[in-house]
Structure 1
Amino acid sequence: MPTNHHKQRENSSQTLIRACLVGLEGQFWLRFDANRCLTHLEPMEAEIPLEFQENIQDIAGDLLSLGGVDLQINGGLGLAFPEVTQTDLPKLQEICDYLWGQGIDAFCPTIVTTSLENIRRSLAVFAELWGDPQPNTAKILGIHLEGPFLNYEKRGAHPAQHLQPLTLKNLQQVIGEFAPMIKIITLAPELDSSHKCVEYLRSLGIVVSLGHSLATETEANQAFARGATMITHAFNAMPSLHHREAGLLGAAMVNPDVYCGLIADGQHVNPTMLEIFLRAAKRPFLVSDALAPIGLPDGVYPWDDRQITVTHGTARLDNGTLSGTTLPLFAGVKNLVRWGICDLEKAIALATLAPRKALGMATWTTGKPINLLRWQGVDGTVEFSRL
C-alpha cells in the first residue's frame, strides 16, 4: 500500500490546471502526469483532493484548446509535397517542426495531381516519417491525395495532362501498397461510372472527399449514400450555390454526416459568404490549403513546371488562377474573429475539434498524452502559446 509520502511524491509530479476548454461548457480541472498524459478531466464543481491543491495552475481567464489539425496542406518552407525525394527527409522534418511552432499538432500532407511516378515516389518517402512519430513536432496523420481523379472543367490549378479517369483499376494503381497511410482522397464523384469507387475506398478505411467537381445535388447525395463524408475547400472548384440547383455544395451543407472543408483567407471565399456558410453548414472545418512557400516571404516560386506569385499570402499562377495560400491554419481562425463572423471559441474549434471529428479522432479524452494551446488577447489581437 502506498504511504502518504509516496502519494505526495507522485502528486508532485502531476500538474492540475483550472481552465475553460474549447468545445466544453463551463470550467474544468485537468490533471496531467509527468508525461503530459491527461489523467483526469472534471467540471470545476468537482472536489479536488487536498494533496493536489498546492499544484494548481489557474488560467480560468483564458481559453485552452487542443492543437490544430490541418487536413489540406500542400508543402512548406519551399518544398512541394508532390515533389519530395529521399533527400528531402530532413526538410520534411523541418516542416513538421515549423508547423508545430504554428500550433499544429497533426496534418495530412496533400499530394495534388501529378504524374503517377511522382505520386508513388512521394508516398514512399512519406511512409518513412508516417510510421515514426516524434514528440514535440507535428505528426503526419496520413496522406491526402487531391487528385488525379478530378473533373477537367473544375481542375483549377491542377495540371490537365495528369488527370486520370476514375476507375477501380486506376485507383488501385495509384494507391497500391500505400492504402494504410492514405487518409483522404479528393475525387469528382460524377466520374465514377461504375458507382463502385467510393465504396472501394471506404473499404480500405480511406475518407472520401468530394471536390474539383461538377456533381449535381443528386450525384453528390448518391456519393454520400455510398460513404463519402467530406468535401474539399467549399465553394472552390465546384458550382456555386444557386436557388434552383443546390449542387454538391448545397447537398454537403445540409447533410449532418458530411464535413465541409473551408479556407478562411478572405481570397478563396468572400468573408460575407464565409459567414453565410458557417451559419448554414452542419459540419464545417478549416483548412489552410497552404502551398510550398508557407513559412517563406512573398515572391515568385516554382510550382511543378510552372511558377506561382505569392502576394500577401495569396498564391496565383501567371494567368491569374488562384492556386492556394501561404497562410497557416490559425490565420483563418484569427480572420474569422477579426471579421466578426464568429466568436473566438467557435473559430478555434473549427481548426482543432472539427477536423479531428472529420477523421473520427478523439478530442478531449483522458488516458493519453495531450498538447494544449493557451489563447489570450494581446494588444487587441488574439495570440496563442503552447502550454
Structure 2
Amino acid sequence: MRNLFLLNATIVLEDSILQQGFIHIKADKIESVGEMANCPSFSDADQVFDCTGKQYAMPGMIDIHVHGAAGYDFMDGSHEAFEGIAMALAKEGTTSFLATTITNPIEHIAVTLKSLENYCAQSSGLGVAEMLGIHLEGPFINKKQKGAQPESAIIPPNSKVFREWQELSGNTIKIITFAPELDNQFELLAELKKTGVIASMGHTNASYGETMDAIDHGVSHATHLFNGMKGMHHRDPGVVGAALLHDDVHVEIIPDGIHFHPDLLKLIVKMKGLENVLAITDGMRAKGMPDGEYDLGGQQVTVREGTCVLSASGSLAGSIVTMNQARLNLTKWLNLSIHEQIQITSVNQAKRLGLSGRKGSIKAGKDADIVVLGRDGEVELTICRGSIAYERIGAFV
C-alpha cells in the first residue's frame, strides 16, 4: 500500500488545532494523526510533504451544487467532461461534490443521468474530486421563478418520471430541487421522503403558507436561498421567510457577493445558526475560464468580471466562484474562525448527505480528503482519497 505523509503541519481537527503535527495516509484513508514526536518512520518510496510555513491542513471542501467548470458541464454527458470538472474542482480545494443537472428535455436528462451512473461505477475517484451523487435541479420547477432554467423544458412534478430517473442513475440522486406548490397532493414529495432523497425547494413561487405546508410534508432544504424563489414581503414572508423561520430547513448560499448582499449573511446565520447553512458555488462551465460567451442548458451566457448572466434576458446564470473563494468571502463577511469555515464548507455537507462517518473532518479511519492552505489562504495541495489531485507549482520544494 502506498503511504503519504504531511509533516510539520498545523492541522485543523474536529474540535482543536494541532500545531507541529503529522498526517499519515495509507491507500485512500487517514491512517493516523498526531504530534511530530510520534510520527511513524517513512522511506524514500513514500510521498512526503513538509508543511512548514503553511497556514493549515484542513478537511477537503464539499460542493453539493455545481454544474460545471473548466469549460465543461455535467449536461455534456461525457466521461471527458465529468473528469475535467472533477480535476478542476480539486484545484479549488473541493474534494467531493454532487454533479448538478439543469432543466432540459427529459430525454437529455435521462441520458445524462445514465452517463453519470456509468462514471460513478467506472471511476476510482482517486486523484480527482469524488462524485458523491447527483443534485437534480429541475425540471419540476415554476416558470415564474425559472431564473436561468430553460422554460421550454419545464414540466410539472412527476413521481413516475423521478422513479425512472433514479433507477437510471443507479440510485445516485441525493437532492432534488423542485417547486413544491406544483406537486399535486405532494405525490413527488412522498416518493422523495420514502426513498431518502433530500427534498429542496427552489425555483419556486410558493406563498408562505404553501411553503410551510410543504415543509410539514417533508421539504427540508432550500436551494440557493434568495435566488429563484419568492422573497420576503411584509404581508407574505414567502419561501425565504419560511426557510429562515423553520428550524428543520437547511439553506444553500452562493457567497460570491453577486447573488445577494453580503450583509444578509448575518441575518441568515442569526436565524439559522451556522449548522444549517451550506456554502455552494452553483458553478457553471465558465468557472476557471476567461470572460466570454458560454452555454448553459442550451442558452447563451455572458461572463464578465465575475458575473454570469443569460445573454438574452440578463438573468443571473450560476456563478464562477470557487469553493475556496467562497470560504474566504464568508470569513471576511462573518469573521469566521477556521472551525466555522470548515463547518459551512465541509462538515454540514457531510452530515447532510449522511457521510459524516467518512467525510468532513481529519480523523484516523476517515477518507483522506485534505487541503493544505498557504499563508494567504490559497490552495497549495489537494489530496482526494489519498491521492494528490492538485499541487501548486513551487509550493513544496
TM-score interval, smaller chain: 0.7 to 0.9
2:381 to 373, 377, 386: 386
The equivalent residue for 1:76 is 69
Which amino acid letter does the alignment assign opposite residue 312 of structure 1? E
Asked whether the 8 Å contact 1:23–1:353 carries over to 2, the reply is no
The equivalent residue for 2:390 is none
Asked whether the 8 Å contact 1:164–1:170 carries over to 2, the reply is no
**What is the CA-CA distance between 1:186 and the residue it aligns to?**
0.3
Asked whether the 8 Å contact 1:212–1:238 carries over to 2, the reply is yes
Q: Secondary structure at the match of 1:153?
A: helix
Asked whether the 8 Å contact 2:28–2:367 carries over to 1, the reply is yes
1:201 aligns with 2:196: no
Distance 1:48 1:201, change over 3 A: same
The equivalent residue for 2:237 is 246
- What is the alpha-carbon distance in structure 2 between the residues aligned to residue 51 and residue 377 of structure 1? 27
Q: Percent identity?
A: 26
Over alpha carbons, which structure has the higher Rg? 1
The equivalent residue for 1:135 is 126
1:342 to 333, 336, 340: 336
> RMSD of aligned C-alpha atoms?
3.0
Q: Secondary structure at the match of 2:113?
A: helix
- What is the alpha-carbon distance in structure 1 between the residues aligned to residue 40 and residue 67 of structure 2? 48
Asked whether the 8 Å contact 2:22–2:39 carries over to 1, the reply is no
- The structure, 1 or 2, with the larger RCO (C-alpha pairs under 8 Å, 6+ apart) is 2
Asked whether the 8 Å contact 2:308–2:317 carries over to 1, the reply is yes
Return the TM-score normalized by structure 1. Answer: 0.84
Query: Residue deviations 1:103-137, cap 9 Å, x none?
Result: 11111111110001110111111112112333111
Asked whether the 8 Å contact 1:16–1:30 carries over to 2, the reply is yes
Q: Secondary structure at the match of 2:171?
A: helix
Query: Residue deviations 1:216-269, cap 9 Å, x none?
Result: 333333333333321100000112233443332222224333221000111111
Q: Secondary structure at the match of 1:142?
A: strand
**What is the CA-CA distance between 1:372 and the residue it aligns to?**
1.5
Query: Residue deviations 1:32-56, cap 9 Å, x none?
Result: 24336324457x7xx976978xx99
The equivalent residue for 2:246 is 255
1:366 aligns with 2:358: no
- What is the alpha-carbon distance in structure 1 between the residues aligned to residue 110 and residue 296 of structure 2? 18
Asked whether the 8 Å contact 1:275–1:341 carries over to 2, the reply is no
Asked whether the 8 Å contact 1:300–1:307 carries over to 2, the reply is yes
Asked whether the 8 Å contact 2:25–2:32 carries over to 1, the reply is no
- 19-28 vs 148-157, which moves further: 19-28
Distance 1:174 1:50, change over 3 A: closer
Distance 1:349 1:22, change over 3 A: farther
- What is the alpha-carbon distance in structure 1 between the residues aligned to residue 118 and residue 126 of structure 2? 16
Query: Residue deviations 1:132-184, cap 9 Å, x none?
Result: 33311111111111001101111111111111111323433444432511111
- What is the alpha-carbon distance in structure 2 between the residues aligned to residue 50 and residue 372 of structure 1? 18
Which amino acid letter does the alignment assign opposite residue 64 of structure 2? L
Distance 1:260 1:22, change over 3 A: farther
Asked whether the 8 Å contact 1:83–1:118 carries over to 2, the reply is no
1:32 aligns with 2:27: no
Asked whether the 8 Å contact 1:233–1:262 carries over to 2, the reply is yes
- What is the alpha-carbon distance in structure 1 between the residues aligned to residue 16 and residue 348 of structure 2? 16
Query: Residue deviations 1:265-298, cap 9 Å, x none?
Result: 1111111112322332231011000111112101
Asked whether the 8 Å contact 1:210–1:228 carries over to 2, the reply is yes
Which amino acid letter does the alignment assign opposite residue 34 of structure 1? K
1:219-234 matches, cutoff 5 A: 219-234=210-225
- What is the alpha-carbon distance in structure 1 between the residues aligned to residue 33 and residue 76 of structure 2? 43
Aligned residues: 367
- What is the alpha-carbon distance in structure 1 between the residues aligned to residue 260 and residue 13 of structure 2? 25
Query: Residue deviations 1:317-339, cap 9 Å, x none?
Result: 12211111122222111222344
Asked whether the 8 Å contact 1:207–1:230 carries over to 2, the reply is yes
The equivalent residue for 2:391 is none
1:321 to 297, 315, 326: 315
Which amino acid letter does the alignment assign opposite residue 290 of structure 2? P
- What is the alpha-carbon distance in structure 1 between the residues aligned to residue 177 and residue 135 of structure 2? 8
Q: Secondary structure at the match of 1:265?
A: coil
1:113 to 97, 100, 103: 103
Distance 1:187 1:40, change over 3 A: same
Asked whether the 8 Å contact 1:27–1:60 carries over to 2, the reply is no
Q: Secondary structure at the match of 1:208?
A: strand
- 199-208 vs 22-31, which moves further: 22-31
1:124 to 97, 105, 114: 114
Asked whether the 8 Å contact 1:376–1:384 carries over to 2, the reply is yes
1:191 aligns with 2:189: no
Which amino acid letter does the alignment assign opposite residue 276 of structure 1? L
The equivalent residue for 2:299 is 306
1:161 to 148, 152, 155: 152
The equivalent residue for 2:395 is none
1:103 aligns with 2:97: no
- What is the alpha-carbon distance in structure 2 between the residues aligned to residue 73 and residue 50 of structure 1? 38
Asked whether the 8 Å contact 2:226–2:240 carries over to 1, the reply is yes
Asked whether the 8 Å contact 1:20–1:61 carries over to 2, the reply is no
- What is the alpha-carbon distance in structure 2 between the residues aligned to residue 162 and residue 40 of structure 1? 50
The equivalent residue for 1:264 is 255
**What is the CA-CA distance between 1:377 and the residue it aligns to?**
3.1
Query: Residue deviations 1:167-209, cap 9 Å, x none?
Result: 3234334444325111111011111122232121132232211
The equivalent residue for 1:293 is 286
- What is the alpha-carbon distance in structure 1 between the residues aligned to residue 91 and residue 32 of structure 2? 27
The equivalent residue for 1:377 is 375
**What is the CA-CA distance between 1:14 and the residue it aligns to?**
6.9
In the alignment, structure 1 segments of 5+ residues that lack a partner are 1-9
**What is the CA-CA distance between 1:311 and the residue it aligns to?**
0.7
Asked whether the 8 Å contact 2:284–2:296 carries over to 1, the reply is no
Which amino acid letter does the alignment assign opposite residue 99 of structure 1? L
- What is the alpha-carbon distance in structure 2 between the residues aligned to residue 50 and residue 231 of structure 1? 44
- 321-330 vs 18-27, which moves further: 18-27
